[in-house]
Amino acid sequence: NTPIKVSVTPISSTAETIKQSIYFVDKDKKLDLLTHILQNNISESVLVFSRTKHGADKIAKKLQSSKISAEAIHGNKSQNARQNALNNFKSGKTRILVATDIAARGIDIDELKYVVNYELSDVAETYVHRIGRTGRAGSEGSSISFVDGLDLLNLRDTEKLIGMKIPVVKDHPFHTDNLVVEKR
Protein backbone atom coordinates (compact mmCIF):
# COMPACT_ATOMS: atom_id res chain seq x y z
CA ASN A 1 0.00 0.00 0.00
CA THR A 2 2.90 2.35 0.60
CA PRO A 3 5.52 1.53 -2.03
CA ILE A 4 8.95 3.10 -1.83
CA LYS A 5 11.12 3.63 -4.88
CA VAL A 6 14.88 3.24 -4.45
CA SER A 7 17.30 3.89 -7.29
CA VAL A 8 21.04 4.08 -7.77
CA THR A 9 22.72 6.35 -10.27
CA PRO A 10 24.45 4.21 -12.90
CA ILE A 11 28.25 4.16 -12.83
CA SER A 12 28.32 5.69 -16.29
CA SER A 13 27.00 9.06 -15.13
CA THR A 14 29.00 12.04 -13.92
CA ALA A 15 27.77 14.77 -11.60
CA GLU A 16 26.50 17.87 -13.35
CA THR A 17 28.40 19.98 -10.81
CA ILE A 18 31.76 18.86 -12.27
CA LYS A 19 33.28 20.93 -15.07
CA GLN A 20 35.19 18.47 -17.25
CA SER A 21 38.01 19.37 -19.65
CA ILE A 22 40.63 17.68 -21.82
CA TYR A 23 44.15 18.96 -22.49
CA PHE A 24 45.89 17.44 -25.53
CA VAL A 25 49.60 17.20 -24.75
CA ASP A 26 52.59 15.14 -25.84
CA LYS A 27 53.56 12.52 -23.26
CA ASP A 28 56.96 14.08 -22.59
CA LYS A 29 55.32 17.46 -21.79
CA LYS A 30 52.76 16.24 -19.24
CA LEU A 31 54.92 17.04 -16.19
CA ASP A 32 55.61 20.52 -17.57
CA LEU A 33 51.90 21.08 -18.21
CA LEU A 34 50.95 19.92 -14.70
CA THR A 35 53.58 22.19 -13.14
CA HIS A 36 52.41 25.11 -15.30
CA ILE A 37 48.77 24.66 -14.30
CA LEU A 38 49.59 24.32 -10.61
CA GLN A 39 51.83 27.40 -10.63
CA ASN A 40 49.62 29.62 -12.79
CA ASN A 41 45.99 28.49 -12.78
CA ILE A 42 45.16 26.59 -9.60
CA SER A 43 46.11 27.62 -6.09
CA GLU A 44 43.91 25.12 -4.24
CA SER A 45 44.51 21.49 -3.33
CA VAL A 46 44.49 19.01 -6.22
CA LEU A 47 44.13 15.24 -6.36
CA VAL A 48 46.20 13.92 -9.27
CA PHE A 49 45.61 10.42 -10.62
CA SER A 50 48.46 8.37 -12.05
CA ARG A 51 48.10 5.00 -13.74
CA THR A 52 51.14 3.47 -11.96
CA LYS A 53 52.87 3.54 -8.57
CA HIS A 54 56.17 4.50 -10.18
CA GLY A 55 54.40 7.29 -12.08
CA ALA A 56 52.83 8.63 -8.88
CA ASP A 57 56.25 8.81 -7.20
CA LYS A 58 57.81 10.46 -10.28
CA ILE A 59 55.08 13.11 -10.48
CA ALA A 60 55.31 13.92 -6.75
CA LYS A 61 59.12 14.25 -6.95
CA LYS A 62 58.91 16.55 -9.99
CA LEU A 63 56.38 18.79 -8.24
CA GLN A 64 58.54 18.90 -5.10
CA SER A 65 61.54 19.94 -7.21
CA SER A 66 59.38 22.80 -8.51
CA LYS A 67 58.63 23.90 -4.92
CA ILE A 68 55.06 22.54 -4.98
CA SER A 69 54.19 20.48 -1.89
CA ALA A 70 53.18 17.02 -3.06
CA GLU A 71 53.02 13.45 -1.80
CA ALA A 72 52.30 10.15 -3.52
CA ILE A 73 49.89 7.56 -2.19
CA HIS A 74 49.77 4.01 -3.58
CA GLY A 75 49.76 0.34 -2.67
CA ASN A 76 53.54 0.04 -2.18
CA LYS A 77 53.41 2.47 0.73
CA SER A 78 52.62 1.26 4.23
CA GLN A 79 49.17 1.89 5.65
CA ASN A 80 50.75 4.37 8.06
CA ALA A 81 52.49 6.26 5.22
CA ARG A 82 49.27 6.36 3.19
CA GLN A 83 47.30 7.65 6.19
CA ASN A 84 49.93 10.32 6.93
CA ALA A 85 49.90 11.49 3.29
CA LEU A 86 46.11 11.66 3.30
CA ASN A 87 46.02 13.53 6.63
CA ASN A 88 48.63 16.02 5.35
CA PHE A 89 46.52 16.59 2.24
CA LYS A 90 43.27 17.03 4.16
CA SER A 91 44.88 19.45 6.62
CA GLY A 92 46.43 21.52 3.82
CA LYS A 93 50.01 20.72 4.79
CA THR A 94 50.40 19.01 1.41
CA ARG A 95 48.79 20.79 -1.55
CA ILE A 96 48.97 17.99 -4.13
CA LEU A 97 48.16 14.32 -3.54
CA VAL A 98 49.22 12.00 -6.37
CA ALA A 99 47.33 8.72 -6.18
CA THR A 100 46.83 5.48 -8.05
CA ASP A 101 43.29 4.19 -8.48
CA ILE A 102 43.67 1.46 -5.84
CA ALA A 103 44.93 3.91 -3.22
CA ALA A 104 42.17 6.40 -4.06
CA ARG A 105 39.28 4.00 -3.42
CA GLY A 106 37.25 5.32 -0.55
CA ILE A 107 39.12 8.62 -0.28
CA ASP A 108 36.59 11.22 0.80
CA ILE A 109 37.93 14.76 0.88
CA ASP A 110 35.54 17.56 1.76
CA GLU A 111 35.32 20.43 -0.71
CA LEU A 112 37.95 19.12 -3.12
CA LYS A 113 37.65 21.38 -6.17
CA TYR A 114 40.16 19.82 -8.57
CA VAL A 115 40.99 16.38 -9.90
CA VAL A 116 43.64 15.89 -12.58
CA ASN A 117 43.80 12.69 -14.61
CA TYR A 118 47.50 12.70 -15.48
CA GLU A 119 46.74 9.62 -17.57
CA LEU A 120 43.36 8.18 -18.42
CA SER A 121 42.67 4.69 -17.12
CA ASP A 122 42.34 1.72 -19.47
CA VAL A 123 38.93 1.14 -17.83
CA ALA A 124 36.40 3.84 -18.81
CA GLU A 125 34.35 3.40 -15.60
CA THR A 126 37.41 4.44 -13.60
CA TYR A 127 37.09 7.96 -15.05
CA VAL A 128 33.67 8.35 -13.40
CA HIS A 129 35.09 7.12 -10.08
CA ARG A 130 38.12 9.43 -10.27
CA ILE A 131 36.26 12.63 -11.06
CA GLY A 132 33.65 11.71 -8.46
CA ARG A 133 36.20 12.69 -5.79
CA THR A 134 35.21 16.30 -6.57
CA GLY A 135 31.82 17.96 -7.02
CA ARG A 136 30.40 16.14 -3.99
CA ALA A 137 27.28 17.02 -2.03
CA GLY A 138 26.23 19.64 -4.57
CA SER A 139 29.61 21.44 -4.54
CA GLU A 140 31.19 22.49 -7.79
CA GLY A 141 34.34 20.78 -8.99
CA SER A 142 36.66 20.57 -11.97
CA SER A 143 38.20 17.60 -13.70
CA ILE A 144 41.19 18.10 -15.98
CA SER A 145 42.40 15.17 -18.08
CA PHE A 146 45.71 15.10 -19.93
CA VAL A 147 45.46 13.12 -23.16
CA ASP A 148 48.42 11.94 -25.23
CA GLY A 149 48.59 9.41 -28.07
CA LEU A 150 48.33 6.48 -25.64
CA ASP A 151 45.18 7.96 -24.11
CA LEU A 152 43.22 8.67 -27.32
CA LEU A 153 41.45 5.29 -27.37
CA ASN A 154 40.71 5.56 -23.63
CA LEU A 155 39.23 9.03 -24.23
CA ARG A 156 36.93 7.66 -26.94
CA ASP A 157 35.76 4.84 -24.65
CA THR A 158 35.24 7.26 -21.74
CA GLU A 159 33.19 9.71 -23.80
CA LYS A 160 31.08 6.85 -25.13
CA LEU A 161 30.43 5.61 -21.58
CA ILE A 162 29.43 9.00 -20.14
CA GLY A 163 27.47 9.96 -23.25
CA MET A 164 29.15 13.29 -23.86
CA LYS A 165 32.07 14.89 -25.63
CA ILE A 166 34.45 16.43 -23.10
CA PRO A 167 35.51 19.97 -24.09
CA VAL A 168 39.14 20.44 -25.18
CA VAL A 169 41.16 23.32 -23.70
CA LYS A 170 43.67 24.64 -26.24
CA ASP A 171 44.74 27.75 -24.36
CA HIS A 172 47.92 26.40 -22.75
CA PRO A 173 51.58 26.44 -23.81
CA PHE A 174 51.83 22.67 -24.35
CA HIS A 175 48.77 22.09 -26.57
CA THR A 176 49.18 19.80 -29.57
CA ASP A 177 46.82 18.90 -32.40
CA ASN A 178 49.21 16.24 -33.71
CA LEU A 179 48.39 13.27 -31.50
CA VAL A 180 48.42 9.85 -33.12
CA VAL A 181 46.86 6.78 -31.53
CA GLU A 182 49.64 4.73 -29.98
CA LYS A 183 49.45 1.12 -28.87
CA ARG A 184 50.65 0.12 -25.40
CA terminus-to-terminus distance, the chain: 57
Residue 106: predicted pLDDT: 67
Average pLDDT, the chain: 89
Residue 181: predicted pLDDT: 78
Question: What phi and psi values does residue 175 have, to the nearest 5 degrees?
Answer: -65, 145
Residue 107: predicted pLDDT: 76
The pLDDT tens digits for 25-82 are 999 999 999 999 999 999 999 999 999 999 999 999 999 999 999 999 998 999 899 9
More confident residue, 139 or 63: 63
Residue 10's identity, in one-letter code, is P
Residue 46: beta bridge partners? 96, 114
CB atoms within 10 A of CB 61: 14
The reply to whether the predicted model has a pTM over 0.85 is yes
